Chain A
Amino acid sequence: MATAKEFIDRVSQIDGVAGCVLLREDGQTLGFSLEDPDLYSPLMLLGGKVTQGIRDKMGFSYCRYLRFNREGKENFYLFAIDHFTLGVVQTRDCSVSEMLRGVMRLIGRVSTSSSQAKTESL
């Protein structure tokens, strides 16, 4: 993965992904394919902190994702990638398990590469 833009493009091409936004831990938006990324960024920042807080309190190890379930079924997901957070909006009537598998496979490929190189590229 060379750039944040390429990463966003790759995530956006996964079946079931309506759009996504990539945020750095300081709150800076690095890339997006959603119409209104600013709507999601405060929630992403808080979501990351709360997930970490609950993980520490309850003694859990790793959080695969945080999901906001919506009546309209366009659920919003947060995935932690080192010092970044990826927010994904799913399309209605998609195969959620396939969409999740696709996103997590891509994240796994990013996360298992050199962390330093990845950070610099993002």
Chain B
Amino acid sequence: MKQAIEELKAIPGVVGACLFGSQEGVLQCNLPGIFKPEKLTAVGQQLSRLLAAGRMSLNDMQDLSLHFDESVVIARELHKGLILFALCDPSFNHNLLTMSLNLLQDELREKVETPVVARSTDVTAPLADNSVESAAGVAASLSSVEYLKWKPLLTDALAKVMGPMAGIIVDEIYADWSQSQAQAAGLSTLLEMIRAEIDDGQKIATFDALIEPHLPS
């Protein structure tokens, strides 16, 4: 998602964007530093309320835009509880931004819906079956099949600390991990990369507490 909001910023007239979870607050942001996190949190909360009200009154609402003298704020709910808002110059390319948001929303929908199907067919906890992974196996590289067994657990645990973006974040980290030499170090490195993405001591502790019972002793 970090890459996605960087791409939005590349659209002419887009100053930056912010990904906001109604439970989690600011998840990703590439707006100028002058917009402090507490301000963005307040704005995100206000926009979440307005988007929810808009959806109730106008069932085919796509997004909303606030046209100030200096700037335009565009807000869209990408997924339940997850909104993206972008700050733009008044002369921004609205059509291009709308198209990008549509593509982003479609991509997100596909990614979020896929794990649900996977979970319904693979309900076992990753290490409940000893044949899947042994203590030694944790340190060994994960095949994509083994990753699919781990993914629901990682996603569920991460969702509890980072919200609905968890599935996408886990996929992105796995993609980075599997293409790097870190793969040789096994699951422990993958977990370390997820912790680095969480980047919050308390949330990392919660994540670890959720994962640890499933790790082999």
A residues adjacent to B (C-beta < 8 A): 39-40, 42-43, 46-47, 50-51, 53-55, 57-58, 60-72, 76
Query: Count of chain B residues with Cβ under 8 Å from any Cβ of A?
Result: 26
Say yes or no: is B50 at the interface (Cβ < 8 Å to chain A). yes
Q: A53-B46, A54-B46, A60-B69 are in contact. Are A67 and B64 (CB under 8 A)?
A: yes
Question: Given that A57-B39, A58-B35 are contacting pairs, would A39 and B62 also be in contact in the complex, using a CB cutoff of 8 Å?
Answer: no
A41–B197 alpha-carbon span in the complex (Å): 42
Is B47's CB under 8 angstroms from A50's CB?
Answer: yes
Instruction: Judge if B99 is at the interface, Cβ distance under 8 Å.
Output: no
Chain B facing A: main interface SS: mixed
Contact of B60 among A57, A67, A71 (CB under 8 A): A71
| A-B interface pairs (CB < 8 A), number | 80
Tell whether, in the assembled complex, residue A54 and residue B49 are in contact, meaning their CB atoms are under 8 Å apart: no
Q: Known: A46-B49, A50-B47, A53-B46. Is A60-B54 also a contact (CB below 8 A)?
A: no
Chain A to chain B contacts (Cβ below 8 Å), 22 pairs:
A43-B53, A43-B57, A46-B49, A46-B53, A47-B53, A50-B46, A51-B66, A54-B43, A58-B35, A58-B71, A58-B73, A60-B71, A61-B70, A62-B68, A63-B66, A63-B69, A64-B68, A65-B67, A66-B66, A68-B54, A69-B65, A70-B58
Instruction: Please state if B60 and A60 are interface contacts (CB–CB under 8 Å).
Output: no
Is B89's CB within 8 Å of the partner chain A? no
* Residue from B47, B50, B71 with most neighbouring chain A CB atoms (10 Å): B50
A65 contact set on B, CB distance < 8 A: 67
Sample of 11 more A-B contacts, CB < 8 Å, known A63-B67, A67-B67:
A40-B57, A46-B50, A54-B47, A66-B65, A66-B66, A68-B64, A69-B63, A69-B64, A69-B98, A70-B62, A71-B62
- Smallest distance from the beta carbon of A56 to chain B beta carbons, Å? 9
Q: How far is the CA of A66 from the CA of B65 in the complex (A)?
A: 6
* Contact A58:B67 (CB < 8 A) given known A42-B57, A43-B54: no
Q: Is A69's CB under 8 angstroms from B50's CB?
A: no
- Cβ < 8 Å to A, chain B residues 19-42: 35, 39, 42
Binding site for A on B (CB under 8 A): 35, 39, 42-43, 46-47, 49-50, 53-54, 57-58, 60-71, 73, 98
**Candidates B49, B54, B69; contact of A64 at CB < 8 Å:** B69
**Complex contact B70–A60 (CB within 8 A):** yes
The answer on a CB contact under 8 Å between A64 and B67 is yes
Given A61-B69, A76-B58, also A53-B42 (CB < 8 A): yes
Is B70 within 8 A of A69, CB to CB?
Answer: no
**Would you give the shortest CB distance from A8 to chain B, in whole angstroms?**
20
If A47-B50, A55-B68, A64-B67 touch, whether A69 touches B62 (CB-CB below 8 Å) is yes
Nearest B residue to A65, CB-CB: B67
CA of A48 to CA of B64, assembled, Å: 13
The answer for the CA separation of A63 and B73 in the assembled complex, in Å, is 11
